Amino acid sequence: MPLDSATVAALAEQLESCQLRARDTVKITDAHPGMTLADAYAVQDAILARKRDRGTRVVGWKAGLTSPGKMKQMGVSEPCFGFLVDEFVVPDGGDVPMADLIHPKVEPEICFVLKRALKGPGCHIGAVLAATDFVLPGIEVIDSRYRDFKFDLASVIADNTSAARFVVGGRAVAPDALDLRTIGVVLEKNGKPVAMGAGAAVLGHPAAAVAMLANHLGARGQELPAGALVLSGGVTEAVAVEAGDQVCLRVQGLGSVAVQFR
């Protein structure tokens, strides 16, 4: 049975409060086992509305759970989508205070910046590549608000797909200068490689994740505007970090981007 609007608002308040105070909670489907994915996106929308009411700006979108490694790691079977706001931005080489987060992990991402709007339905890899101004490397810092990162798909969607921080940097390159399926990524922690993979790990082609996101938004009467930044999903499993860790992502042809935790 769909959640009523008071319950959606209460769950948004609960999850956003956990994010802002760096406190965890049990997954919300424990109390609401009948929650649908539409309910989950309604909670996510309500979290965004709370942030917008405080003057927070949307600066991008993300696809999550887009690689077999991530789906297996988290025990779910389909991608999910979330928003990125200004409070999540970390400059390249910047610091992330651990006190602001619960149990962060990092993911290597191929990021797209659009020169033209993209609107589903019917969006496909070709449309994404034609609308992309450039791609660049990014590190997403995810921080599930759920205890021990234990959730199901509805719970994680409501929790804005664990979005917490992100950093983009490296070289911005037009997508036709690269083969995004075979592009190699190496994620290093404290100077040692800890995860590696190729772009094809993201739904066969990272642009496929952007197309899915555009189709998801299109079904809700929304679009990705010109200038949108999109994180297309972790190329590898996520890697846990702790205070003192330095993380560097190197992407073939796109240079590197870094972040540190203190």
Q: Which amino acid is at 56?
A: T
Residue ranges in 9-68 that form contacts with ligand 0L1 under rule CB under 6 A: 62, 64-65
Q: How far apart are the first and last CA of the chain?
A: 44
What lies within 8 Å, CB to CB, of 17 at 6+ separation is: 23
CA distances from 187 to 69, 162, 178 (A): 15, 20, 19
Cβ distance to Mg ion smaller for residue 64 or 199: 64
Cβ distance to ligand 0L1 smaller for residue 108 or 169: 108
Q: Is 107 in the site for Mg ion (CB under 5 A)?
A: yes
How many residues bind ligand 0L1 (CB under 6 A)? The answer is 15
**Residue 97: both structure tokens together:** 């205070």
Q: Which amino acid is at 86?
A: D
Q: Is 239 in the site for ligand 0L1 (CB under 6 A)?
A: no
Q: Which does 65 bind (CB under 5 to 8 A by kind): Mg ion, ligand 0L1, none?
A: ligand 0L1
**Residue 67: both structure tokens together:** 């690689």
Q: Is 145 in the site for ligand 0L1 (CB under 6 A)?
A: no
Cβ distance to ligand 0L1 smaller for residue 156 or 248: 156
d(CA 193, CA 170): 18
Residues of this chain that interact with ligand 0L1 (CB under 6 A) are 62, 64-65, 70, 74, 107, 140, 142, 144, 156, 161-162, 233-234, 238
